[in-house]
Structure 1
Amino acid sequence: MDLDKNNELDQANLRLIVACCALAYMGLLGFMPGESHARYLPVIYYIVSFLLVSVGLRQAIARWPGHYPWRRVLGMLHDYTGTCFGLVIGGEAALPIYAVMVWVNLGNGMRFGSRYLAIATVLALAALLVVYQLTPYWQANPFMVLMLLTTSTVIPVYAHLLLERTRKASEQAIAANQEKSRFLAQASHDLRQPIHSIGLFTACLREAPLGEDERRLVDSIDRSLLNVSQLFRSILDLYTLDNGRVQPHYETFALGDFLAELLRNNSEAARWAGVDIRLRPCSYWTRADRGMLATMVQNVISNSFKYAAQRPLLIAVRRCGRDLAIVVCDQGRGIAEAHQGLVFEEFYRVRQGRDKDVEGVGLGLSIVRRLGHLMGLEVRLRSRPGRGTAVTLQGLPRLQAQPDQPSAQRSPAAPGLLGGLRVCLVEDDRNVLRATSALLQKWGCEVEAHSSPSGLSSDCEVIVADYDLGQDATGIDCIDRLRAQRGWAVPALIMTGHDPEKIQAEVHERDIAVLSKPVRPAELRAALRALRELPAAPVG
């Protein structure tokens, strides 16, 4: 509907411009040799009245937007009436006004579709016949009239063919995009599961007593898996951004805790890259989309691991007027000035011979900038070859004081082990179930593993469930059922391979944590520690 409104208003605006051009043309004719203004005064007066009516029609379109077929046809009649009057009164000197007929014909067809193109064509042919009957000059030149009639027919027919081809191509593109969306949605879920289970199995190996050589092999597997996981998430981020599905959901949180948690999750990757991360203490609070901001900072940190390995990395929060800025500074080889504006483009990489083995396809910074645009953050890059690179995420609001209700804050993982924690695990994928159960047992948990939601019963302290458990139930259904059995809100966690925002909306006000697969073991351990610390609460 908005498209129709804008198109009709655009047509009305263009009508005013064309009428002004016609008025200027008729005024200039009076200065031509052998011509006088008196001859064209009736046409000029008519165009002035035409302009006044056109202004009124434009105001009506702006005041009552929408699709009104009668108003569109009335606009065509208005255009053709004015054109006919100018052609009849102006004679041969007014022939260039015929271009207005072509504009009305094509303009209505291109803006409103083939049906209006056909109506405009019929009205144009009728208008030409009327001018022919009323103008001696036209009657004396029948071949000219034939040419104009042919032109007024052939051009719209060709335009109709183009419109039909465009419409079919658009429908095919939409269908292909929908098919791609379905494929990526299914592939996303199917690929997350094995990546998730491999990560958990690797964590189990890490918990076992291993020799130095075996531990290096596990490190290599884990590092390769991390690269695959990051690439996979980058592609999914790019896909959701292209589809316009990403919208910020703001919450209030402490930046210091947020960055400390992010660094804990990257401790293994930093160790592999030989990067010493230093975080300056920060007591500021802000309001932003926590997930989007985490993705932005994570992508910048990952780039530093790749291109500034074996060098220190500094992360700090600065005050910028009323706002805050997160600054990530590395001491890598830097980026030449010629490349600094290009590194934010998709798939662009500054390649050199010595970094041929650096993983990635050049999506990280493009995702950072696009997410920043969605949240109103400015992304700045400052780099000097041989001196390092600093990326600044600027524009985060600075809250004057800690909120009275810091419920939006995510507390850092509580210290201590998970020994003795009774966990009810519900997962229909056998590999994921085995991997998660084995890892939780390595951490000292007592695990009740269920591959089906049917007949579910447990005296657990924490529930960990996959979201998609087949056609019978979801993980949320299982959590609700167990909580009803126990009579209190057992702390619960959903791990999902689907769109996490959709799941977050479903668990709203249920006090259920959500982790998006593939879940890194450090994330799972931190989430379980946090859930263990929650106080008992009655079922809401």
Structure 2
Amino acid sequence: MKSTPAEDVSERMQAWIRLLILVLVSSYAIVASVMTSPERRVQPWALDVLTYFACYTPVAVGLLYVVIRHPGHYPARRIFGMANDFAGLAFAIIAGAAAMLPTYAIIMWVTVGNGLRFGSRYMIAAATMVQVTLAVITVLTPYWRANPVLVFTLSLTALVVPFYIQTLLRHIEQARRDAEEANTAKSRFLAQASHDLRQPVHAIGLFLNSLTQTGLAPEQRGIVDRIDRSLQGVAELFRSLLDISTLDSGAVTPTLEPVSIRQMFRLLEQQNQVSAGWAGVDLRFVRSDRVVLADKALLLTMLQNLVSNAIKYAPRGRVLIGCRRRGDRISIWVVDQGAGIAAEHLPRLFDEFYQVRKLGSADTQGVGLGLSIVQRLGALMDLAAEIRSRPGHGTAVAIHGLNAAAAVPPVVDRGPSYAVPLHDLQVLLVEDDIDVLDATAHLLRSWGAEVAAWSIVPPHPQRCDLIVTDFDIGGGMTGADCIALHRQENPPPMAIVMTGHDELAIEEIIADPSVLILKKPVQPAELRSAIAALRGRRGQLPTG
């Protein structure tokens, strides 16, 4: 029968402990016989114990061998081991009488150990075997028959201790289940709240972009820029909440592939140049042609959290991102010239929701999830995060353990793809939120695209070059259904899915690598770059 890895470890440990018990009881028998002998010699009964255990040793070694070579949940094997353990201990006590009485502690050790390792049924079985063992010892040992109160005390102990431990185990198990349910409920709430709140933030961002194109006065444009900056902070909060809830759900499985450090740094620069400009940060990347083996999306999320933190806590300073190689392992460092962090805070910085707050310090956006996300994503790829900091000298955070990989094909740099016009591009836009639908349609039309806007999945395929769809459309329909409806066209239209869910989960559902997944709230430049990237794949990139 199949068993869990934890069960296999427990059974191996119990098999090793069986050998340890043989050594302990044999050693004690020799010492006890010498100490109770007037001649200070090993008594015959001790030799009998040693002979018995010498014969039992091959059985114990055989059990260990079988457990290692054939792991699994085999109740008969466990019961056989327990029965032989109690038989050997009973023989030792019968042979040594009063001198071997202290080995009763090992009987209790075997009883409790089997119950804790294998569960309540084995605790009950072991407790029952103890009663049988005590009965046999009493019948065959005059010393025990002459001390009925002692026998009663030992028998009662063998009943009360396992029962009490079993009661505690039930309470602990119930507390564990309650904690898991609470954690699941927390993750579900965070994911749902993040998803629901992303919709209005997404719509605000699109309307805000449209507002900037209406000929605002300088003062008005300054106000709009401040709104946009605040909106980016809210978007970062939602992204962190969704990331942590996705990790809690256990739904993240890394897919390792060769990842270009240069391409990764280029993406990070594009994503952070605006926020760095707002903060007055000199954001610099050390050019590197190295390639690592990693999950590109997860590694980008880790680095984005580190760079975002560095910009946030080093205003008007410098942030440097680069990598170092030691052997076949590569580390990526993010170094800032911020105020630094006191040593007492460093061990807790990777805890969820932990933030360094001091009276009189400037407020910073965030909820203290960034470094926790970095550490947990790193653990999924066997990577380690390290942080070094000194007050007044800045902070350096590293991701260690990246394996070097073969080079990936170079990516043709087409320049600022968001500047490419969309004239003559027919877009099918599907979004059930009317505000988001209107804002996205207005944005696409302002770029020159012809837009057919639907709040539901169209009943029939629509003629289009590109599908831009939300994932949750309502009525039991999703963006995957909308894309599938149009896959019969020749050629099938390009597709972009915008969602508030985790991108990896949506990628698995759609199961089409040609479809781009964008996480809400989506920046206009991000959407336009995605459209240009899809057109570039098909050779549709205009020259003017």
User: Please, what TM-score do these two structures have when normalized by structure 1?
Assistant: 0.90
Secondary structure (helix, strand or coil) at the match of 1:349 reads: coil
- Equivalent residue, structure 2, for 1:386: 392
Mapping for residues 217-366 of structure 1, pairs under 5 Å: 217-337=223-343, 339-366=345-372
Mapping for residues 186-225 of structure 1, pairs under 5 Å: 186-225=192-231
Secondary structure (helix, strand or coil) at the match of 1:9 reads: helix
Secondary structure (helix, strand or coil) at the match of 1:333 reads: coil
1:90 aligns with 2:93: no
- Equivalent residue, structure 2, for 1:511: 514
1:436 aligns with 2:437: no
Letter of the structure 2 residue corresponding to residue 467 of structure 1: F
* Gapped regions of structure 2 (runs ≥ 5): none
1:38 aligns with 2:56: no
Contact 1:423 1:446 in 2 (8 A): yes
- The whole-number CA distance in structure 2 between the counterparts of 1:11 and 1:379 is 36
Shift of 1:397: 4.1
User: Please, what TM-score do these two structures have when normalized by structure 2?
Assistant: 0.90
Contact 1:257 1:412 in 2 (8 A): no
User: Which whole-Å deviations, capped at 9, do the CAs of 1:126-166 have from their partners, x for residues lacking one?
Assistant: 21111111111111111111111111111122122223223
Counterpart of 2:525 (choices 522, 527, 530) is: 522
Secondary structure (helix, strand or coil) at the match of 1:469 reads: strand
1:7 aligns with 2:13: no
- The whole-number CA distance in structure 2 between the counterparts of 1:285 and 1:205 is 41
Secondary structure (helix, strand or coil) at the match of 2:477 reads: coil
- The whole-number CA distance in structure 2 between the counterparts of 1:466 and 1:435 is 13
Contact 1:424 1:449 in 2 (8 A): yes
Which one is further off, 242-251 or 36-45? Answer: 242-251
Secondary structure (helix, strand or coil) at the match of 1:533 reads: helix
- Equivalent residue, structure 1, for 2:180: 174
Counterpart of 2:20 (choices 1, 14, 17) is: 17
Counterpart of 1:108 (choices 93, 104, 114) is: 114
Shift of 1:95: 0.5
Letter of the structure 1 residue corresponding to residue 127 of structure 2: T
Shift of 1:401: 4.4
Letter of the structure 2 residue corresponding to residue 261 of structure 1: L
Letter of the structure 2 residue corresponding to residue 491 of structure 1: M
Letter of the structure 2 residue corresponding to residue 305 of structure 1: I
- Cα distance change of structure 1 residues 160 and 369 upon mapping to structure 2, 3 Å threshold: closer
Contact 1:377 1:394 in 2 (8 A): yes
- Cα distance change of structure 1 residues 252 and 68 upon mapping to structure 2, 3 Å threshold: closer
- Cα distance change of structure 1 residues 479 and 244 upon mapping to structure 2, 3 Å threshold: closer
Shift of 1:294: 1.5
Secondary structure (helix, strand or coil) at the match of 1:293 reads: helix
Contact 2:258 2:407 in 1 (8 A): no
- The whole-number CA distance in structure 2 between the counterparts of 1:266 and 1:382 is 23
Contact 1:328 1:392 in 2 (8 A): yes
Secondary structure (helix, strand or coil) at the match of 1:224 reads: helix
Secondary structure (helix, strand or coil) at the match of 1:493 reads: strand
Shift of 1:178: 3.6
Letter of the structure 2 residue corresponding to residue 38 of structure 1: Q
- Cα distance change of structure 1 residues 356 and 42 upon mapping to structure 2, 3 Å threshold: same
- Cα distance change of structure 1 residues 501 and 157 upon mapping to structure 2, 3 Å threshold: same
Shift of 1:353: 4.3
Shift of 1:68: 1.9
Secondary structure (helix, strand or coil) at the match of 2:258 reads: strand
1:532 aligns with 2:538: no
User: Which whole-Å deviations, capped at 9, do the CAs of 1:206-234 have from their partners, x for residues lacking one?
Assistant: 23221222222222222222112212222
- Cα distance change of structure 1 residues 390 and 136 upon mapping to structure 2, 3 Å threshold: closer
Contact 1:265 1:522 in 2 (8 A): no
- The whole-number CA distance in structure 2 between the counterparts of 1:111 and 1:138 is 31
Which one is further off, 14-23 or 35-44? Answer: 35-44
Shift of 1:276: 3.0
Counterpart of 1:159 (choices 145, 165, 175) is: 165
- Equivalent residue, structure 1, for 2:453: 449
1:458 aligns with 2:459: no
Shift of 1:526: 1.1
- The whole-number CA distance in structure 2 between the counterparts of 1:519 and 1:278 is 25
- The whole-number CA distance in structure 1 between the counterparts of 2:225 and 2:526 is 18
Contact 1:462 1:531 in 2 (8 A): no
* Gapped regions of structure 1 (runs ≥ 5): none
Shift of 1:402: 4.6
Shift of 1:45: 1.3
Counterpart of 1:55 (choices 32, 57, 61) is: 61
Which one is further off, 210-219 or 272-281? Answer: 272-281
- The whole-number CA distance in structure 1 between the counterparts of 2:332 and 2:241 is 24
Shift of 1:33: 4.9
- The whole-number CA distance in structure 1 between the counterparts of 2:405 and 2:257 is 12
